[in-house]
Amino acid sequence: MLELNGLTKRFGNVTAVDNLTFTVQKGEIFGLLGENGAGKTTTLRMLATMLKPTSGTARLAGFDVVRSPEEVRRRVGFLFGGESGLYDRLTVYENIQYFGELNDMHPREIKKRIEELADIFDMKDFLNKRAGKLSKGMRQKASFARAIIHNPDVLLLDEPTSGLDVGAMREVQAFLKVQKEKGKTILFSSHTMSEVEKLCDRIAVIHKGSLVDMGSTDELLKKHGTQTLEDLFMGLVGGSK
């Protein structure tokens, strides 16, 4: 489970995330919606212990992100849009293997897990290719596999299908649905409204770091009298300055 309680991040006089409070349950896919600069990535970075909150806190799988960052890292997989986290001189296999080793996985377990992920994401043809030679879509698949090699309890995903073709997007979406069925806690941001509607049990709309509204898509559409998620989003933040 994932709990945010008054989570806040300031950079000088700029408040990037302002007093966010919500809970994501085990076995739930929760979406963060917001325009560029709304605070989505900063929120995810704090949850991944890459940034320290200015105030407030959060707990992942029962561990506080400030007091127990190492325990949090063992239980979280994170993927950030625009950052592959791959070493260009290593092959895809070597990159994923390395991150498995960082998470104290046994070599046999790493090999089995890589074979499993290669099959899920159709990566067998480029497992032994250097990361620096990959297409954007291939890099995204490899990055995804790297993030989840250790089978984490919580997934933090920033634009997880960015750069993927339709077929690869469906592979990732199908994988996330399976992870939900296995009881994983999944928090992700996306600009693709159809993806959010298809995957998310609930969504939170944030604007300038603050929570605007939260609920299931059906609940929010009914509440605000809109027909589509795009109309809902524009109604909530489109006219804001």
**Domains, in order of start, for the chain:** 2-86+153-238 (3.40.50.300)
Q: What pLDDT does residue 241 have?
A: 47
Tokens of 70: 């190492």
Q: Does position 59 have pLDDT exceeding 80, yes or no?
A: yes
Q: What pLDDT does residue 53 have?
A: 97
Q: For 53, which DSSP code?
A: -
Phi, then psi, of 203 in degrees rounded to 5: -135, 155
Distance CA(185)–CA(123), nearest Å, equals 25
Could you count the other beta carbons within 10 Å of the beta carbon of residue 52? 11
Q: At what angle do helices 166-181 and 136-148 cross, to 10 degrees?
A: 10
Phi, then psi, of 10 in degrees rounded to 5: -120, 140
Q: Does position 16 have pLDDT exceeding 80, yes or no?
A: yes
- Mean pLDDT taken over the chain: 91
pLDDT in tens, 137-178: 888 889 889 989 999 999 999 988 877 788 888 888 888 898
Amino acid at 47: L
Q: What pLDDT does residue 26 have?
A: 94
Amino acid at 166: V
The residue-averaged pLDDT of 25-54 equals 94
Amino acid at 95: N
Q: What pLDDT does residue 81 have?
A: 65
